[in-house]
Structure 1
């Protein structure tokens, strides 16, 4: 008996040691979490667990979402493709529900990359990981086991945001008693349990562990178990509510700010605590709320942060208890940022730093600890980074760039820009880019034609902000001549963004459209069949154009001639017709053999079709009443050769002028000297209160001296706009 027990323990130990050849991963995504955390300077937030993980890892000061809305951001992060790529290839991806689950994201990805896999599925199959977890990873919590997980924790039956849906108030501080009554608490409790099972060899199959925590909070309404309002008390009389209600100039507010979302207008406590509820309902004005409700909202948001912090603690503690922590890489981030009253709004959905900038902390073995980096990171970079950290090959289709070089050397740079898009409704699309110097440029265009969308006779569809020394600004410098070089440079960067480096990968060789996903009419019907792709197809395409399969929203980048392949069933030679953008054509097809239900397999008919740039509609039907075909899918293949990939983003980073500012510490009356600056460079000096105290346009070509005799002792910020770039430094006057 004793021998058997020793053999069993040895077996478990061997499996456990084998799993440790690769690091474990704990991947945490919080919902609507802006940079309201202690490590980002916000001392109102009480998040000791996250703060400790930050002290043990690398904190990214400049990490960005690629789409400041939940669903599109997550779909991009988990497929490794930019939202604009997904939309241009499939006509989907800009709305929350387009890719809200693994099934939808996987289906869309396979339309672009036939053998593509989402992040967790890829690491499960190619990285040999045991994937455990759940929650809000995609836009919706999964309701049943997916290909992403080895073991999924289903949280979908618990309240996502609010326990009492009928109450409809924005801050609910007395509706939860226990953590497990909310999805986040339930997820943490069960993940803790499963980690214990893994450590004891009950689950895991001897593989390293990939854990996901998709946290619903601090997304509103701001509900948390009551005891968190007591355990992490905030004196509401001392809560700091932003007073930054400025509105951006020289741009339409419907472009630059969040639309009238439901976040405020549908809550009854907002209506009861508003000076002007109509204005809130139409324009979501935070300042129109009574001050007490403003403070209550901020209090509720911060309490939700403390709530998720303690859920993370449960998982971290069990990893430490079971000896797994030291070999675990932890990533904490959010799907986008959040306006907590800033710009007189509550929510996301804009390209301002409040909405696009996200917290990002990475800690674990081999990663620099207790350090910060100002290098640009994007959420789309997390897929290749995780591959790199786990020695898993980075897939060919990935458009992000691995952050691994930064994790060992925080001064390294892998991104010249961060690129964000936001769908503003209808045909509007905001394209936004921020450079390494902190200059953000955004233009609002028609998402199909690329043309600017301006009111008649006005130009109000562009923005340019200088964030090099500011966190919040409404000073749109689009008409400021000093910034004209940046407008040209960054507009060109947007236009050429998808033509170089990783971004240029023509990931789509075949557009795949399943018949069962199309619009069907008349006698047509979806049937199951084992030999069809996805085990489904559409039958009874017959007797005129009322019995048809119609593929809407087929997005094409460039007008031209394409090959369309019909995958069909027919037991004899038949005919079929197409109606493409109003043009009708008729074709004959040979028999495929047997019908699907008889064990037949689909045949393929290739035809040449003309498609327009932008959206196209293809309708497939049969004008003959006696002819009938069954359609499995269509694939559309471009005849053009994809762009070659010959460079990486690292090779494209421009060399910066070696500007020298010295000495860094001077006595009052001495001069601050500058070298290697170009003619017409603009030199400015700001005091610690942000006041401009010196400004000069350089007339000499290489040097300048800044007098300090009229300046007070203290810390100053030097800013040089030099040949389309910005250089920042600090000096101290004694």
Structure 2
């Protein structure tokens, strides 16, 4: 009889232990990469070497139609962290600060911290390091060896200090260790944090922001060696559409670097009138691919550490980017505009006990991440959050819960669906449209024939313009 009581007591303790484990809040590893378009093998870009992200996709739901709400760094990150759409009044520029634009917003790190989570920001999460500091238990960013742009060649660094970006090429290839550049340092810091967090036993949000493949395309030489430049192909749609709107042509940022002829009277290049040398273009694409492979290796370190520490079964992993980047598509080298390639991003979510390898074709806007994370950890998102939870899509990846996405930047607004991409530019809210473009994505997936002026599409253009106004979710 005594033995029976002991057995029952042990069984009860075991049952309570399992129940406690099931009720334990799940950790969150949030990985965001700067300027990463879906140029990954699982998205069909087989020329790119990214074995760690590819392996991660084996237990995650990959969203094939994920779009940012604004294709510029600071504003996009502010929108993601708050779950709120950018407008002409707030979340407008790459320098956006939530603390300035919307100081009373409850970000998803803030929500988790308020509910007992340790929240750590490593690398670039918000654009500004000290944005919404009260929502983080710790904020850490790496420092470059010589400069903030993360050039580590001494001669290049001297030139940079003397002449600025016009004196240096937008890439660097050196045979150095991963931790010589900032992203390697960020990965190492995140690994250390995971070990500390494991010991603490407390639920955590570890947000890790990698810089590459953002300009300049600097990566250790071994990642450049993955690719033969002679094999790199320029995109098929490497010219600006003849009838493309002028507002969609300007590109900036890369214009500042050596190797790009400088304009005397303006900062931008226009895709309708300027084309880079083909060899230089291939060198830039080579650099971008090398940076993707470099960042993939850093992500691999984090995922292996999760496994080694036994944290994978307790940790939700979200992997995405703040916007895409044109690599000579439409003769552009930039984000900051409303073509598909500058707004579509990779998105993969792995939830222990819920997800397995699957692909979802439902449309996603990155404002949807906030309510998704909140629901997955058992919290309620604030009413102000505009996104929709993706939990049902994770349970049933075949579900199409949304078939449109919206993005905007400066005077332009865009709506994209499986059939069409429409963008329009207005001088002021509610003002007249002074530029627009419409692409039939079924017949013209490369967006090379702007059909907006064809009479048979007038009703469709009016309808899509109204959709943009009211942000109708279908």
1:447 to 397, 407, 428: 428
Q: Secondary structure at the match of 1:214?
A: strand
Offset, 1:209: 1.9
Q: How does 1:74-113 map onto structure 2 within 5 Å?
A: 74-84=77-87, 87-88=88-89, 92-99=90-97, 105-110=98-103
Does the 8 A contact of 1:366 with 1:408 survive in 2? no
Please, which of 292, 298, 313 is the counterpart of residue 326 of structure 1?
313
Structure 1 equivalent of residue 454 of structure 2: 480
- 1:277 Cα deviation after fit: 11
Deviations 1:554-588 (A, max 9, x none): xxxxxxxxxxxxxxxxxxxxxxxxxxxxxxxxxxx
The aligned counterpart of 1:432 is 414
Indicate the RMSD between aligned Cα atoms, in angstroms.
Answer: 2.7
Q: Give the match for residue 162 of structure 1.
A: 150
Q: TM-score normalized by structure 1?
A: 0.57
State yes or no: 1:60 paired with 2:63. yes
Counterpart in the other structure of 2:186:
187
SS of match in other structure, 1:329: strand
1:293 pairs with one of 250, 258, 280: 280
Task: Give 1:223's match in structure 2, choosing from 195, 218, 224.
Answer: 218
User: Counterpart in 2 of 1:725?
Assistant: none
C-alpha spacing 1:177/1:157, structure 2 compared with 1 (3 Å): closer
More off after superposition, 360-369 vs 26-35: 360-369
2: CA distance, partners of 1:197 / 1:377: 34
Q: Where does residue 12 of structure 2 map in the other structure?
A: none
Whole-Å Cα distance in 1 between the matches of residues 131 and 244 of structure 2? 45
Tell me: CA distance 1:285–1:52, structure 2 relative to 1, closer, same or farther (3 Å).
Answer: farther
Between the aligned partners of 2:450 and 2:340, the Cα distance in structure 1 is 13
Aligned residues: 443
Q: Describe the shift of the 1:340–1:152 C-alpha distance in structure 2 as closer, same or farther (beyond 3 A).
A: same
Change (3 A) 1:327 1:343: same
Distance 1:59 1:469 in 2: 25
Find the aligned partners of 2:212 and 2:148 in 1 and give their Cα distance.
9
* 2:464 is equivalent to residue 490 of structure 1: yes
Distance 2:187 2:272 in 1: 35
Task: Quote how far apart the aligned CAs of 1:341 are.
Answer: 0.7
Counterpart in the other structure of 1:392: 379
Whole-Å separation in 2 of the counterparts to 1:220 and 1:161? 9
Query: SS of the residue aligned with 1:29?
Result: strand
Cα deviations by residue, 1:539-558 (Å, 9 ceiling, x for unpaired): xxxxxxxxxxxxxxxxxxxx
Runs of 5+ in structure 2 lacking a partner? 1-16, 152-156, 162-166
> Aligned partners of 1:156 and 1:360: how far apart in 2?
28
- Matching residue within 368, 388, 395 for 1:401: 388
Within 1, Cα distance between the matches of 2:132 and 2:447?
45
Question: Residues 256 and 154 of structure 1: is their aligned pair in 2 closer, same or farther, counting only changes over 3 Å?
Answer: closer
SS of the counterpart of 2:336? coil
Q: Contact 2:251/2:333 (CA < 8 Å) preserved in 1?
A: no
Q: Secondary structure of 2:259's partner?
A: helix
Q: 2:267 and 2:469 mapped to 1: Cα distance?
A: 36
Residue number in structure 2 paired with 1:262:
253
Match of 1:421 among 398, 403, 408: 408
Contact 1:248–1:256 at 8 Å: present in 2 too?
Answer: no
Pairing 1:178–2:171 present = no
Q: Structure 1: where are the runs of 5+ without partners?
A: 1-13, 100-104, 424-428, 455-460, 501-648, 654-734
Confirm or deny that 1:247 pairs with 2:240. Answer: yes
Structure 1 position 463 matched with structure 2 position 432: no
1:234 aligned residue: 227
Question: Closer, same or farther in 2 for the Cα pair 1:285/1:269, shift >3 Å?
Answer: farther
SS at match of 1:39: helix
Q: Deviations over 1:278-316 (max 9, x none)?
A: 999643679733322111111110000011111111111
Question: Residue by residue, what CA displacement relative to the aligned partner does 1:31-67 show, whole Å, maximum 9, x if unpaired?
Answer: 1101111111111111111111112111111100101
Instruction: Tell me if the contact between 1:24 and 1:210 (Cα under 8 Å) persists in the aligned partners.
Output: yes
Alignment-derived partner of residue 69 in structure 1: 72
CA radius of gyration, larger in: 1
1:31 to 31, 34, 37: 34
- Which runs of structure 2 are paired with 1:658-669 in the superposition (5 Å)? none
Shift of the 288–490 alpha-carbon distance from structure 1 to 2, 3 Å rule, reads closer
3-state DSSP of counterpart to 1:397: coil
Structure richer in strand, relative to its length: 1
Distance 1:79 1:409, change over 3 A: same
Question: In structure 1, the residue corresponding to 2:142 is in which secondary structure?
Answer: coil
Match of 1:697 in 2: none
**1:529 alignment counterpart:** none
1:214: Cα distance to partner? Answer: 0.8
With 475-484 and 218-227 compared, the bigger mean Cα shift is at 475-484
How far 1:251 moved relative to its partner?
A: 4.5
Residue aligned with 2:374, SS: helix
Alignment of 1:585-604 (within 5 A): none
Q: Of Structure 1 and Structure 2, which has the larger fraction of its residues in helix?
A: 2
Change (3 A) 1:469 1:359: farther
Alpha-carbon deviations, 1:157-197, whole Å to 9, x = none? Answer: 665543233452112112x7222232211111011012112
Work out the CA distance in 1 between the residues paired with 2:121 and 2:383: 27
* CA-CA distance at 1:358 after TM superposition: 0.9
In structure 2, distance between residues paired with 1:160 and 1:407? 39
**Conserved in 1, the CA contact under 8 Å of 2:60 and 2:357?**
yes
Once residues 22 and 208 of structure 2 are traced to their aligned partners in structure 1, the CA distance between those partners, rounded to angstroms, is 21
Once the two structures are superposed, residues 438-466 of structure 1 have per-residue CA deviations (whole angstroms, 9 ceiling, x without a partner) of 31221111234x21253xxxxxx121112
Which residue of the partner structure matches residue 591 of structure 1? none
Q: Decide whether aligned partners of structure 1 residues 383 and 66 sit closer, same or farther in structure 2, where only a CA change above 3 A counts.
A: same
CA deviation digits over 1:602-627, x for unaligned, max 9?
Answer: xxxxxxxxxxxxxxxxxxxxxxxxxx
Q: Please say if residues 161 and 223 of structure 1, whose CA atoms lie closer than 8 Å, have aligned partners that are also in contact.
A: no
Deviations 1:383-426 (A, max 9, x none): 11110111111111101111111111122233342111111xxx
Question: Retained in 2: the 8 A contact 1:280–1:286?
Answer: no
**Counterpart contact for 1:245–1:287, Cα < 8 Å:** no
Which of 212, 215, 220 aligns to 2:207? It is: 212
8 A Cα contact 1:19 1:207, kept in partner: no
